[in-house]
């Protein structure tokens, strides 16, 4: 404020008047409670009932947690420490934590390997999940599956290396031959990849210990790690497969269309657990004797097929929701089918489908616990089998199942929050 | 029919044939939408197509860039025959621009991206050049400042102008318009028509389905009247409006100009 101005005015307040608080009955909390919880007799009764239910729940859960013990090496120790305070026997979680996470046969001195793989997941996957990051980092994401495989299963690095080389060569061949047409591209892909894998097989056999980590058999995978492996692998595989199925279902070529329709309808019509039994038992009959077709791989294939049928239907919904004008505009600009799909149709259809896809992904992740029924020791299998049936911890139900719930909840809630964030990021249509 | 070499504004029409449709027929199932259409469009010609709703105007111009298939007769665009050969179809589509009634911009891309997409992927032009071209045409339709917005943030008139710019970025030799102004409020119609008039003055070959008769009078050198899937009458704008020959044309014009 200028001096002249200050002189021309008799009084200028130099400080701001602090706002006076409104009367107590009109301020935030009390006003809100009065208006929202006790605004009428019915509302008052519901509020009191609600309070009672909350009290009843907390009066059960809080002593259980607060009086619980984390010490002791068996349920008998727990009982001694807790007495009849109603506390929980959380000692089992500490004692068997590694088993809950890794299963009971993964060598304990190698726990760092899956742990490292899990941490690397957070380094390499954001490039896909957060669209704002530089695209070049996607290379890291592409390398991740092979690195993670090497870390978790061990063995010579040549195995994942040649798997990767085969795919890269296949892709290179595909882009060359695709100029002729798409079928030629696919054929070139298959030939290049198979040749690379075949040669790679020789080299790997020749140098089985080249940069080898101690190998861990698939049978020894277990615990929450197994759920995460199945969940992450199956979701990542079923998304592209689902897209292909959804597009195939829209195809004008009757053969492609009906193959997709039959597949989707069949898979949706049978329970996942039956597919898992098929994977476990029946496939073994069809394979030549002596072939060792990894059980986890069989299960991954089944869950992926199952989830992809659902994802295909979700994406079909998204495709159907797009106005016809989008296809026409893409066509009228001269974009070919692949370009129109990739640049115009799928980005929009997938965005519409995010809630549905996440729904399938979360459901799929939880359904991975079904493998406990075909005697794999995932988190649920571990609790049901080795832990609860051990003499030390027989009967410690609540604590173990609560822990399982918490682990699953954290992951599923995370996925859900991420998807909501992603939807907001992609909100560009300003409707 | 008299073919003018120039129209009142002095815009020239060459002898070169841009579109040649011969004896074209189209059915939707049992329904005969287009009957024996014969139409020759010369380079630089500006043709306005009008007619009652359901007469097949949209279907006709959508056949020209193969958004709809025709079952009989031939269509040759810029010397390329329209057959089921995908290569020909893609070639024709990249030479023929089209603007729709509902703009059909891509809502997930910015205005600039909308304009550069096809040049980048179809013409394989370097990104920088594509962006320069896009800005050039956005300036031409007078909305360069909106380049980084999304279509949903623009008014209808602005969106339609972006749609025109998007087509122009492919440097088409022919432009098709399907009722470009009929989804717009009156005050926005003018800005879109001005853009189209400017385009016409630069000698673009244009086929417009529109009921803007003022536009037809000002820029068209031929007005075509369609009814029930047929071209019923065609003439230069002056005689077409002053002295229509066919009864159906008279009825239509009295309805559209009458009030
Ligand atoms: N996909 C379709 N299947 C069946 N009939 C159709 C289809 N599209 C259009 N028709 C019919 O073809 C006829 C011509 O349609 P068209 O859209 O070309 O009319 P139009 O002259 O553009 O009318 P408007 O002025 O209302 O846009 C109409 O009777 C319409 O019902
Ligand atoms: Mg129409």
- What CATH number did the domain enclosing A414 receive? 1.10.3720.10
pLDDT digits (tens, 9 = 90+) for A319-374: 999 999 999 999 999 988 888 998 999 989 988 888 899 889 999 999 999 988 88
Same domain as A410, residue A371: yes
pLDDT digits (tens, 9 = 90+) for A16-25: 777 776 666 6
The domain ranges of chain B are 17-257
Same domain as A354, residue A403: yes
Same domain as A193, residue A291: no
Q: Which residues contact A91 (CB under 8 A, 6 or more apart)?
A: A69, A70, A71, A72, A73, A77, A78
Q: Is the pLDDT of residue A315 over 50?
A: yes
Q: Which of A23 and A62 is assigned the larger pLDDT? A: A62
Residue B86, Cβ neighbours under 10 Å: how many? Answer: 11
Same domain as A313, residue A209: no
What mean pLDDT value characterizes chain A?
83
Same domain as A172, residue A52: no
Partner-chain residue, chosen from B66, B117, B153, that has the shortest CB–CB distance to A430: B153
CB contact at 8 A, B13 and B43: yes
What's the pLDDT band for A260 if we cut at 50, 70, 90?
very high
Partner-chain residue, chosen from B100, B122, B166, that has the shortest CB–CB distance to A325: B100
CB contact at 8 A, A189 and A178: no
Task: Decide if A428 touches B, using CB distance below 8 A.
Answer: yes
Please tell me the distance between residue B50's alpha carbon and the centre of ligand 2 in angstroms.
10
Please tell me the distance between residue B9's alpha carbon and the centre of ligand 2 in angstroms.
28
Q: Closest approach of chain A CAs to the CA of B70, in angstroms?
A: 16
Same domain as A229, residue A349: yes
**Hey, what are B190's tokens?**
């003018």
Same domain as A360, residue A227: yes
- A247, part of any domain: yes
Q: Which of B230 and A87 is assigned the larger pLDDT? A: B230
**Residue B226 has what pLDDT?**
92
Interface test with chain A among B85, B117, B162, B178, by most A beta carbons within 10 Å: B117
- A59, part of any domain: yes
If one counts the domains in chain A, the total is: 3
Question: What percent of chain A is predicted at pLDDT more than 70?
Answer: 91
Q: Is the pLDDT of residue A74 over 50?
A: yes
Same domain as A184, residue A165: yes
Task: Decide if A7 touches B, using CB distance below 8 A.
Answer: no
Same domain as A335, residue A257: yes
Model confidence, pTM: 0.82
Q: Is the pLDDT of residue A131 over 80?
A: no
Closest atom of ligand 1 to CA, residue B29: 4
Q: Is the pLDDT of residue A15 over 80?
A: no
* Ligand 1 pocket test target in B30, B33, B52, B212 with most atoms within 8 Å of CB: B33
Can you give the pLDDT of all 259 residues of chain B as single tens digits?
A: 444 444 444 556 677 888 999 999 999 989 999 999 999 999 989 999 999 999 999 999 999 989 998 999 999 998 888 887 778 888 899 889 999 999 999 999 999 999 999 999 888 899 999 999 999 999 988 888 988 999 989 988 899 999 999 999 999 999 999 999 888 888 888 888 988 998 988 889 999 999 888 888 888 989 999 998 999 999 898 888 888 888 888 888 888 876 5
* Ligand 1 pocket test target in B34, B59, B67 with most atoms within 8 Å of CB: B59
Q: How far apart are CA A104 and CA A223, in angstroms?
A: 8
**Residue A35 has what pLDDT?**
79
Domain B17-257 has CATH 3.40.50.300: yes
- A404, part of any domain: yes
Same domain as A235, residue A382: yes
What's the pLDDT band for A1 if we cut at 50, 70, 90?
very low
* Chain B contact set for A334 (CB, 8 A): 90-91, 93-94, 118, 122, 170
Q: Closest approach of chain A CAs to the CA of B134, in angstroms?
A: 14
Question: What percent of chain A is predicted at pLDDT more than 90?
Answer: 23
pLDDT digits (tens, 9 = 90+) for A160-180: 888 888 888 888 888 888 777
Phi, psi of A300 (to 5 degrees): -60, -45
Contact A333 B90 (CB under 8 A): no
Same domain as A349, residue A243: yes
Give residue ranges with CB within 6 A of ligand 1. Answer: B 28, 31, 33, 51, 53-59
Q: How far apart are CA A124 and CA A139, in angstroms?
A: 9
Q: Is the pLDDT of residue A7 over 60?
A: no
Task: Name the nearest CA neighbour of A316 among A360, A372, A270, A274.
Answer: A360
pLDDT digits (tens, 9 = 90+) for A173-203: 888 887 777 778 888 888 888 888 888 888 7
Task: Decide if A343 touches B, using CB distance below 8 A.
Answer: yes
Domain around A43 = 3-66
Same domain as A313, residue A239: yes
Task: Decide if B67 touches A, using CB distance below 8 A.
Answer: yes
Please tell me the distance between residue A105's alpha carbon and the centre of ligand 2 in angstroms.
69
- Which residues are bridge partners to A213 per DSSP? A155
Burial of A340 (0-12, 13-18, 19+ CB in 10 A): buried
Ligand nearest to the CA of B53: 1
- Going A410 to A411 to A416 to A420, the CA torsion angle's sign is positive
Task: Decide if B65 touches A, using CB distance below 8 A.
Answer: yes
């Amino acid at each position: 404020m200028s001096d002249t101005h200050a002189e021309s005015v008799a009084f200028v307040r130099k400080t701001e008047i602090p706002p006076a608080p409104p009367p107590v009955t009109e301020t935030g909390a009390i006003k809100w409670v009065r208006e929202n919880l006790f605004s009428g007799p019915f509302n008052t009764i519901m509020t009191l009932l609600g309070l009672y239910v909350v009290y009843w729940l907390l009066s059960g859960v809080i002593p259980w947690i607060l009086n619980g013990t984390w010490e002791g090496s068996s349920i008998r120790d727990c009982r001694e420490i807790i007495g009849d305070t109603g506390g929980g026997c959380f000692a089992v979680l500490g004692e068997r934590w590694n088993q809950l996470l890794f299963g009971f046969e993964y060598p304990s001195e190698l726990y760092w390997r899956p742990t490292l793989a899990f941490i690397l997941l957070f380094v390499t996957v954001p490039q896909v999940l957060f669209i704002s990051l530089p695209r070049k980092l996607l290379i890291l994401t592409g390398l991740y599956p092979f690195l993670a495989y090497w870390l978790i299963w061990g063995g010579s690095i040549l195995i994942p290396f040649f798997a990767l080389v085969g795919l890269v060569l296949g892709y290179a061949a595909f882009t060359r031959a695709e100029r002729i047409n798409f079928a030629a591209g696919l054929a070139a892909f298959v030939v290049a990849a198979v040749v690379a894998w075949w040669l790679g097989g020789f080299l790997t056999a020749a140098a089985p210990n080249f940069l080898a980590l101690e190998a861990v058999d698939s049978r020894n995978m277990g615990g929450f790690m197994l759920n995460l492996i199945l969940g992450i692998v199956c979701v990542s595989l079923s998304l592209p497969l689902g897209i292909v199925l959804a597009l195939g279902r829209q195809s004008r070529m009757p053969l492609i269309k009906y193959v997709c329709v039959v597949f989707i309808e069949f898979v949706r019509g049978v329970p996942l657990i039956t597919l898992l039994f098929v994977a476990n038992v029946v496939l073994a009959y069809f394979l030549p004797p002596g072939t060792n077709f990894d059980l986890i791989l069989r299960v991954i294939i089944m869950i992926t097929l199952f989830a992809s049928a659902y994802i295909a239907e979700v994406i079909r919904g998204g495709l159907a929701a797009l106005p016809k004008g989008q296809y026409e505009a893409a066509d009228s600009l001269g974009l070919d089918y692949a370009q129109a799909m990739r640049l115009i149709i799928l980005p929009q259809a997938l965005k519409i489908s995010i809630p549905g896809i996440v729904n399938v992904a979360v459901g799929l992740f939880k359904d991975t616990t079904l493998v406990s029924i075909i005697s794999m020791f995932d988190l649920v299998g571990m609790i049901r089998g080795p832990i609860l049936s051990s003499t030390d911890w027989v009967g410690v139900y609540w604590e173990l199942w609560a822990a399982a719930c918490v682990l699953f909840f954290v992951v599923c809630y995370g996925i859900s929050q991420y998807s909501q964030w992603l939807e907001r990021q992609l909100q560009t249509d300003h409707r | 029919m008299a073919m003018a070499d120039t129209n009142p504004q002095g815009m020239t029409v060459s002898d070169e044939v841009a579109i040649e449709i011969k004896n074209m027929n189209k059915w939707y199932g049992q329904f005969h939408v287009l009957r024996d259409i014969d139409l020759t469009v010369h380079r630089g010609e500006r043709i306005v197509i009008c007619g009652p709703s359901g007469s097949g105007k949209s279907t006709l111009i959508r056949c020209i860039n193969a958004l709809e298939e025709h079952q009989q007769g031939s269509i040759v665009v810029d010397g390329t025959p329209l057959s089921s050969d995908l290569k020909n179809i893609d070639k024709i589509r990249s030479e023929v621009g089209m603007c729709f009634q509902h703009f059909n911009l891509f809502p997930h891309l910015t205005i600039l991206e909308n304009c550069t997409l096809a040049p980048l992927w179809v013409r394989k032009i370097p990104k920088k050049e594509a962006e320069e071209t896009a800005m050039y045409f956005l300036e031409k339709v007078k909305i360069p400042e909106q380049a980084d917005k999304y279509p949903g943030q623009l008014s209808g008139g602005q969106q339609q102008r972006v749609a025109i710019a998007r087509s122009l970025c492919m440097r088409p030799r022919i432009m098709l318009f399907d009722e470009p102004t009929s989804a717009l409020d009156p005050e926005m119609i003018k800005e879109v028509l001005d853009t189209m008039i400017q385009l016409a003055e630069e000698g673009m070959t244009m086929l417009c389905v529109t009921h803007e008769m003022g536009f037809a009078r000002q820029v068209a050198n031929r007005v075509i009247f369609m009814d029930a899937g047929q071209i019923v009458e065609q003439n230069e704008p002056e005689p077409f409006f002053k002295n229509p020959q066919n009864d159906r044309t008279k009825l239509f014009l009295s309805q559209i100009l009458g009030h």
